Amino acid sequence: MKCQFCPNPATVHLTEIVNKTKAEMHLCESCARKRKCQFCSNPATVHLTEFLDKKKGEMHLCETCARKQNVITDSPQALNVPALLQLMFGSVPPTGRESAPDAVCPECGTPYAHFRAQGRLGCPHDYEVFRPLLAPLIEKVHNHAGRHVGKVPRRHRQRMQIAHRVDLEAQLKSAVAAEQYEEAARLRDSIRALGADHEP
Partner 1 sequence: MNLNALTSRLGEWLRGNGPESDVVVSTRIRLARNVASAPFTTRASPHQKAETEARIREAIATLDLPAPLSYVSVASLPAIDRQFLVERQLISREMAGVLDGPRGVAFDDREAISLMVNEEDQLRLQSMRSGFDLDAAWDAIDHIDDLIESKVEYAFSEDFGYLTACPTNVGTGMRASVMLHLPALGLAKQIDKAFKALQKINLVVRGLYGEGSRALGDFFQISNQITLGKSEVASLNDIRSVIQEIIKYERMARSTLMREARQNVHDKVARALGTLQSATMMTSEETMELLSAVRLGVHLKLIGDLAAQTVNELFIHTQPAHLQKLVGEPLDGEARNAARARYLRTRLRAAGAE
Using alpha carbons only, what angle is made at residue 49 by residues 46 and 50, rounded to the nearest 5 degrees? 130
Neighbours of 115 (CB within 10 A): 21
Q: Which listed range, 25-33, 41-49, 69-77, 184-192, lies at the site for partner 1 (CB under 8 A)?
A: 69-77
Judged by beta carbon, residue 1 or residue 113, the one nearer partner 1 is 113
Smallest gap from residue 144 Cβ to partner 1 (A) = 8
Q: Is there binding between residue 200 and partner 1 (CB under 8 A)?
A: no
Q: Is there binding between residue 81 and partner 1 (CB under 8 A)?
A: yes
Q: Is there binding between residue 18 and partner 1 (CB under 8 A)?
A: no
Contacts 24+ apart (CB under 8 A), 179-188: none
Q: Is there binding between residue 43 and partner 1 (CB under 8 A)?
A: no
User: 3-state SS string over 74-110?
Assistant: CCCCCECHHHHHHHHHCCCCCCCCCCCCCCECCCCCC
Q: Which of 2, 13, 47, 120 binds partner 1 (CB under 8 A)?
A: 120
Residues whose CB falls within 8 Å of the CB of residue 13, separated by 6 or more in sequence, listed in order? 24, 25, 26, 27
Chain residues that interact with partner 1, rule: CB under 8 A: 73-78, 81, 108, 110, 114, 118-124, 127-128, 134, 137-138, 141-156, 160
